[in-house]
Amino acid sequence: MPNLHSFDTTDQLASEVARMTIDTLMEILRSRGAAIWILAGGTSPLAAYRYIAEHYSAALDWSKVTIILGDERMVAPDRPDSNWRQIREALFVNNAFNQAHQILPDTSMPADMTARVYEEKVREELHRIGPKATIAWLGMGEDGHTLSLFPDHQDSRPTESLVVPVYNSPKPPSERISLTANALTGVRVAFVFATGQAKQHALQRALREGDLPIAQVAHHVKSNGGMAHWFVDRDAYPSAM
């Protein structure tokens, strides 16, 4: 059975995932001295970013935390649909978070080159700090996608790469780059967000059949010694469970 945490409201969900994230980062810093936090784009994590910004800016030494973007749209970082812009506006409202080391993709290049350069940076940081010092936030789309890995999409096939370019995305914009499941090999814990009634069917399928990208990535984390926690609000909670 998955580690499923259900909440009546998205605010309750946001506060709990924020608390668990900070507790986990603090534990990692105490034991290893440095940590990596892989960030998720999308609407569900934004409330949790805001909660962390409001309540936990002084909770730990952010200069010892590296943040890595899980996926990004191939747009300028000041565009409204940039994942980084949305995260920055939600989380980086306090100067404390600017102390964190930031590993970000350069979207000014073609997608294939962006993916290659970003993979080198991500691989180096994971090697330097270690996957066991890493936590990952994962959003889930209405179709069960996570990161920019979409169901039955040619660019979402299993690969040894840590980062892939994604073309012809079923959601605009059409070009993206994304971490792969392989990039999460050995991470300590993944926190999965699933909120809203529109995601209920995909969540039920992911938990029961395991054939959607979010389920496959969560399974990869667990099969390589990590944990996966699913945070679900009452609207998304599968009615048949």
Over residues 104-128, the pLDDT tens digits come to 999 999 999 999 999 999 999 999 9
Residue 203, token pair as written in the block: 């969540």
User: Cβ–Cβ contacts within 10 Å for residue 191, how many?
Assistant: 26
Long-range contacts of 28-35 (CB under 8 A, 24+ apart): 28/133, 28/135, 28/188, 29/60, 29/61, 29/64, 29/65, 32/129, 32/130, 32/132, 32/133, 33/64, 34/64, 34/65, 34/66, 34/129, 34/133, 35/64, 35/65, 35/66, 35/129, 35/133, 35/134, 35/135
For the chain, strand residue ranges (E) read 3-7, 35-39, 65-69, 71-73, 101-103, 134-138, 163-166, 176-179, 189-194, 227-233
The per-residue pLDDT for 98 is 93
Give the model's confidence band at 63: pLDDT under 50 very low, under 70 low, under 90 confident, else very high.
very high
pLDDT over 70 at 240, yes or no: no
Residue 219, token pair as written in the block: 């399974």
Q: What's the mean pLDDT in 142-148?
A: 97
Give the model's confidence band at 239: pLDDT under 50 very low, under 70 low, under 90 confident, else very high.
low
Whole-angstrom distance, CA of residue 78 vs CA of residue 205? 36
Angle separating helix axes 46-55 and 83-91, nearest 10 degrees: 30
Q: Which of 139-143, 200-204, 234-238 has the lowest mean pLDDT?
A: 234-238
Phi-psi region of 225 (alpha: psi -120 to 50; beta: other; left: phi over 0): left
Average model confidence (pLDDT) across the chain = 95
The per-residue pLDDT for 238 is 75
Backbone φ and ψ for 81, nearest 5 degrees, come out as -90, 10
pTM above 0.85, yes or no: yes
Helix ranges (DSSP H) in 56-166:
83-91, 111-129
Q: What's the mean pLDDT in 198-206?
A: 95
| Residues 6 or more apart whose Cβ sits within 8 Å of residue 224 | 184, 185, 186, 187
The per-residue pLDDT for 2 is 77
Domains and CATH numbers, the chain: 3-233 (3.40.50.1360)
Q: Which of 136-150, 151-165, 197-211, 227-241 has the lowest mean pLDDT?
A: 227-241
pLDDT over 80 at 90, yes or no: yes
Whole-angstrom distance, CA of residue 150 vs CA of residue 196? 19
Percent of the chain surpassing pLDDT 70: 98
pLDDT over 60 at 241, yes or no: no
pLDDT over 70 at 1, yes or no: no
